[in-house]
């Protein structure tokens, strides 16, 4: 396909390998100062890069600047790199503007689809040797600069889609940007990327929306019972519809193929449940078998989701601690955990809908739970040990 740059290690699969920072990016322009653009800008500014911000919406630019993401004036001479973080349908147009204005010597975008922006840039006559497509596999269900986080990309895969026309310097700058954001580069071609994200990102978004849509007309007394299971499934249903329309528009056929397979599984599951609800001796056993097989396949698929830093999912034990709903309570708990010397790998908080309390689930390395639970109990915390270890994706 193309020759990877020699100076910076290029990885086909995510690992937590260290990167050399070659110091190529001294200045950058971030176009689109929403969630992703501002998060990137905060990373760059945090590494001493001179960051210039541009957004079609003045408020967005001003807010990002006030957060310390960069300055609002344009660079006096072309910046080393423009990071284009606008909706996917506008990427080609913004690449063309950056090149026509001489705003930066190289451009990369971060859009969630890769074939469309490349096609648009080509159609608009952009110099593709200095443009590169990319997609950080990290985000939030929130938009805008106020949702930005410098740590958003830490340990996450960040896809790069260079073509045979991409210049080595452009690729090196993109790799350096990914390194500065603490992410892990994964090289793919644009079509391969779009097929992969149809399964791991675009279909999950639709499933979340479909499930959440079921709640629209549900009885308030039903919705009130929502627990963590539902919240985990529907979190991304809160995402901005306009952005997702743009993404799905650019990958519609591929996503429809994945949904066809899912629809077949749904139909089979409905049949299995109908059989299971029939009187004994009329196919109940077969229905139960097919349902059990689906649940087993779910376990197997879940187990394939990589853990932190792209490693195989690690199994952790968990300790659940009851905390009161008062200022400083969580900080006091974490300080007490810290005092025991046990490293917390993940924290989940389940709020009680009725009481002024919550259940904090601390995931810790397997084997450390008995000592941790005893130490916390000794400090007055109400503690429950979970029966089963849970993998952290």
Site residues (vs ligand NAD, CB under 6 A): 31-37, 54-57, 60, 85-88, 90, 94, 110-112, 135-136, 139-140, 143-144, 243, 247
Contact with ligand PRE (CB under 6 A) among 122, 141, 257, 345: 141
Residues 6+ apart with CB under 8 A from 170: 106, 107, 108, 129, 130, 131, 132, 162
Nearest-approach distance from CB 34 to ligand NAD, in angstroms: 2
Q: Using the rule CB under 6 A, is 201 a contact of ligand PRE? A: yes
Nearer to ligand PRE, 140 or 308 (CB): 140
Nearest-approach distance from CB 266 to ligand NAD, in angstroms: 26
Footprint of ligand PRE on 308-367 (CB under 6 A): none
Distance CA 332, CA 107 (A): 46
Nearest-approach distance from CB 381 to ligand NAD, in angstroms: 35
Contact with ligand PRE (CB under 6 A) among 82, 90, 137, 174: 137
Q: Using the rule CB under 6 A, is 140 a contact of ligand PRE? A: yes
Nearest-approach distance from CB 100 to ligand NAD, in angstroms: 13
Q: Which does 79 bind (CB under 5 to 8 A by kind): ligand NAD, ligand PRE, none?
A: none
Report the 10 Å Cβ neighbour count for 387.
7
Nearest-approach distance from CB 263 to ligand NAD, in angstroms: 25
Nearer to ligand PRE, 120 or 246 (CB): 246
Distance CA 29, CA 295 (A): 48
Contact with ligand PRE (CB under 6 A) among 139, 157, 162, 185: 139
Structure tokens, 263: 């629809």
Nearest-approach distance from CB 139 to ligand PRE, in angstroms: 3
DSSP 198-215: IIIIIHHHHHHHHHHHTT
Nearest-approach distance from CB 333 to ligand PRE, in angstroms: 26
Q: Using the rule CB under 6 A, is 236 a contact of ligand PRE? A: yes
Q: Which stretch binds ligand PRE (CB under 6 A): 40-48, 93-101, 136-144, 356-364?
A: 136-144
Question: Which H, E and C letters describe 236-266, residue by residue?
Answer: HHHCCHHHHHHHHHHCHHHHHHHHHHHHHHH
Report the 10 Å Cβ neighbour count for 320.
16
Q: Three-state SS for 177?
A: helix
> What CA–CA distances, in Å, run from 242 to 143, 245, 248?
11, 5, 10
Rg (CA), the chain: 24
Q: Using the rule CB under 6 A, is 112 a contact of ligand PRE? A: yes
Residues 6+ apart with CB under 8 A from 337: 344, 362, 372, 376
| Contact residues for ligand PRE, defined by CB under 6 A | 112, 137-141, 201, 236
């Amino acid at each position: 396909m193309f020759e990877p740059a020699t100076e910076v290690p290029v990885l086909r699969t995510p690992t937590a390998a260290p990167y050399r920072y070659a110091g190529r990016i001294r200045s950058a322009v971030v176009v689109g100062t929403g969630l992703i653009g501002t998060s990137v800008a905060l990373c760059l500014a945090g590494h001493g890069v001179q960051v210039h911000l541009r957004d079609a919406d003045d408020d967005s630019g001003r807010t990002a600047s006030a957060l310390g993401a960069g300055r609002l004036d344009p660079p006096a001479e072309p910046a080393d790199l423009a990071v284009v973080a606008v909706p996917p349908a506008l990427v080609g147009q913004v690449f063309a503007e950056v090149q026509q204005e001489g705003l930066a010597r190289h451009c990369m975008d971060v859009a969630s689809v890769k074939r469309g922006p490349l096609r648009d840039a080509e159609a608009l006559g952009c110099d593709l040797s200095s443009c590169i497509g990319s997609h950080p596999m990290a985000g939030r269900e929130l938009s805008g600069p106020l949702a930005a986080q410098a740590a958003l990309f830490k340990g996450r895969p960040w896809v790069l889609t260079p073509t045979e026309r991409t210049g080595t310097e452009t690729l090196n700058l993109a790799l350096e940007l990914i390194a500065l954001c603490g992410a892990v580069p994964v090289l793919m071609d644009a079509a391969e990327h779009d097929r992969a994200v149809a399964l791991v990102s675009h279909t999950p978004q639709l499933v979340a929306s479909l499930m959440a849509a079921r709640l629209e007309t549900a009885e308030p007394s039903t919705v009130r019972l929502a627990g963590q299971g539902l919240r985990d499934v529907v979190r991304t249903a809160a995402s901005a519809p306009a952005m997702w329309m743009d993404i799905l528009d650019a990958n519609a056929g591929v996503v429809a193929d994945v949904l066809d397979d899912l629809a077949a599984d749904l139909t089979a599951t409905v049949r299995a449940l109908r059989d299971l609800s029939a009187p004994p001796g009329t196919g109940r056993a077969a229905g139960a078998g097919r349902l059990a097989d689906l649940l087993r396949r779910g376990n197997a698929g879940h187990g394939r989701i990589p853990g932190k830093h792209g490693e195989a999912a690690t199994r952790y034990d968990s300790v659940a601690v009851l905390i009161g709903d008062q200022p400083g309570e969580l900080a006091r708990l974490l300080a007490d955990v810290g005092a025991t010397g046990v490293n917390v790998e993940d924290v989940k908080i389940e709020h009680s809908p009725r009481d002024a309390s919550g259940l904090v689930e601390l995931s810790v390395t397997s084997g450390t739970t008995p000592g941790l639970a005893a130490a916390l109990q000794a400090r007055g915390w109400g503690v429950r040990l979970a029966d089963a270890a849970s993998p952290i994706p």
